[in-house]
Chains A and B, each alone.
Chain A
């Protein structure tokens, strides 16, 4: 399969890249790792006049803690995230997530920024970033702006990014002590999108009660689902089996999966419940609770 013709641009600076997007707007698409865009172009589910490859723009691939945030450069590859000692040691929810995205070969090219900017509710990072309360930095002609992740996904394959903006950084507030997170995914085989998946991030107080909680679901609606009622329910409670079971039940009620070859609506809803309970339990364990 061969994509329809397009013009290819390989800008060497960020401002040059933004300039191209400003010029071509809706006719242009950003190529980061290309592992979602190129299949779409090949299958001709999408057609664009201009591809702006940010692969040669320096300074977009990094993982660092700075000023209270974990900062991940937009073009950071999944394989880089997976190998990072900082991520493996301190952000197990991100290590869980990156390890189940596509397959190892795809992860050598696929990027974290691309996984979010693609706006696919079946992608794995959106739920994790919702659970972590991340922010997204978008760079456009007027400079940078920060978008809270819960305002970022506006619909199926649609985000708050303007046509002339590039997702340049993901900022995650460094979790306080006694925090833990987990991402649990059910997939038919390596490389498949989630039948269901759940991301949970908890911070426990000194009596073991839930002080902060983020819970979100993958592939459970037209956009990534934040399980707000479940979060509110858990707030202030001990994360015991009973409370977790009820939160998971609320999360499964609040999602809106569609039936496909991965299963019926009922099955997916049930899996969302089971996986949410597992993710919450693992998050609580990692937070140093029970």
Chain B
């Protein structure tokens, strides 16, 4: 079949759509659901700007088909803020100036968020390793690492 009815839970809300087989998850998120916080960077599985959580694990949504997400849970940057309160990872990027142009930031935050879920007190090396699939061309990563450390301290 070239078209499929899918149901994906995005940031806790169920969404149904009929999609083409070849529709990429990132296009489903941006163009169908209109959640444009998730960015498309390199589009070739390198940069990680499109990072979202699929069943809790960070993946590059430019390299997943929307149909593969059928029946699964997706978390995007829009789901981080709760009741008008920034999530500690968002606060960390704000407080530590973890961004300049901001293009990589949603992906960075999703990876950082996933890291802190599995490792509440990561070392600098663990943070650098975790974000090694997310490219930033502005900051040199120093303040991104500080932002994740800030979030780790705030979450404890």
Contact = CB atoms under 8 A, between A and B. Distances in A.
Nearest to A53: B68
Interface stretch (B58-66, B81-89, B94-102, B148-156): B58-66
Interface string A45-66: 0000001010100000000000
B57 interface: yes
B130 A104 contact: yes
With most chain B CB atoms within 10 A of its CB, the pick from A41, A55, A190 is A190
A162 interface: no
Contacts of B134: 105
Interface in B133-154: 133-134
Interface residues of B, number: 33
A39 B63 contact: yes
Contacts of A42: 24, 43-44, 62
B30 interface: no
Contact of A5 (B2, B58, B67, B130): B2
Contacts, number: 92
Interface residues on A, range: 20 to 34
B66 to A, nearest CB: 10
A267 interface: no
Nearest to A39: B45
Interface in B16-72: 20-24, 27, 43-46, 48, 51, 54, 57-60, 62-65, 67-68, 70
Contacts of B60: 105-106
Contacts of A103: 48, 132-133
A2 B24 contact: yes
B105 interface: no
Interface in A176-220: 190-191
Contacts of A173: none
Contacts of A34: 63-65, 68
Contact of A105 (B22, B59, B67): B59
Contacts of B62: 42
Interface in A16-35: 31, 34-35
B22 A6 contact: yes
Nearest to B44: A39
Top 4 A-B residue pairs of the complex, sorted by shortest distance between their CB atoms: A103-B133, A8-B21, A105-B133, A190-B132
